[in-house]
Amino acid sequence: MNSRYSRQALFLGKDKQTKILNSSVFIMGAGALGSSSAEMLARAGVGKITIVDRDYVEWSNLQRQQLYSEEDVKKRLPKVVAAKNRLEQINSGITIVPLVEDVHGLNIEEMIKGHDVIVDATDNFETRLIVNDAAVKNGIPFIMGSCVASYGTIYPVIPGNGAPCLHCLLNHLPVDTMTCETVGVISPIVQIVAATQVAQALKVLTGEPVTPLLRSIDIWKDENSSINVTRLRNNDCPTCGEHATFPYLQYKNQMKSEILCGRNAVQIRPATNDKYELVTFIDNLKDKVAKPIINPFLLSCEFEDMRIVFFKDGRAIIHGTNDTKTARIIYNRFLQYY
């Protein structure tokens, strides 16, 4: 057994440490929760960690997203690329797979294939329901987690254990429109939620039982609760019920444009799976854009009084508007120069 894991192996046992070394974890999101979870899992020796995220590193991330540096911001690096760079410095003996992708119901199943557990680090509830559908359908445990301000929630979805999935709990979870962009977030709650998620993930990887507890914590108000929600399972649930249809994996429910809350920006996701050669694109644009920044993953520039971050899969974030119609017009004008 590698001596770097000796203290962990003393607690878990060598056999369970070996299971961790041979395991594979999928992290959905590389923001605050994702970067914290990724670092803990890398230090624990998880053999393969796949991280997916659609965004790039910005200055506002550095307050709580612990894998990133000022240099990552200056280079406009995608979060998963910056995360891979840092994680390989932490543990060179494991495999880190970065995916600069926007997750939706039509690509999630291929992404999670072959993984032992999914750790949720998304920033919106719709994406969580997409992952929940894919996890239940494919029989992969899914550790849900979220945090905002000083408050966090954690819930493990373990397919086949008779407990409710996230969809079952929709009518029992508080409806809250708060986001990190509107009310902020402090890093201690991020660390607590991520640590709890990673503990649950390690239990799954080592074969330990996981209790279906819905946990909530407010680190500022010194409040916490844990509720066993087994009885809340819905036999008619469209995700885990007897006649499951997995609605969030269906084409008709896929979002094509999305307002990014609190950022005065809209994301455009094309219906096609075309790949764009960014070097060719910037050559064609030349005098039509200002302040261009290009790396192997994205092109950032100013175009028609707005800032566009264009990814090689055709996805783009249009900064300077919250109107999806305006964003689409700008996107189409921008693409005509390709």
Under DSSP, is residue 150 helix (H, G, I), strand (E, B) or coil?
Answer: coil
- Count of beta carbons in the 10 Å neighbourhood of residue 136: 24
Q: Which amino acid is at 67?
A: L
Residue 338 CA to residue 335 CA, distance in Å, equals 5
Say if residues 155 and 133 touch (Cβ distance below 8 Å).
no
Q: Using alpha carbons, list the distances in angstroms from residue 149 to 34, 100, 172.
A: 17, 27, 21
**Which residues lie below 8 Å from residue 220, measured CB to CB, with a gap of 6+?**
149, 150, 186, 189
**Residue 47 Cα to chain centre, angstroms:** 19
With beta carbons less than 8 A apart as the criterion, state whether 261 and 179 touch.
Answer: yes
Active-site annotation holder among 147, 165, 168, 180: 180
* Residue in 180, 103, 309, 311 with CA at minimum distance from that of residue 327: 309
Sheet holding 151-157, edge to edge: 95-100, 48-53, 24-28, 117-120, 142-148, 151-157, 213-218, 223-228
Tokens of 18: 């070996």
Dihedral, CA of residue 88, residue 70, residue 310 and residue 282, to nearest 10: -100
Cα–Cα nearest to 311, from 295, 299, 324: 299
- 240 is an active site residue: no
One DSSP character per residue, 209-238 reads ----EEEEEETTTTEEEEEE-GGG--TT-T
How far apart, in whole angstroms, are the C-alpha atoms of residue 84 and residue 238? 36
Which residues are part of the catalytic machinery? 180
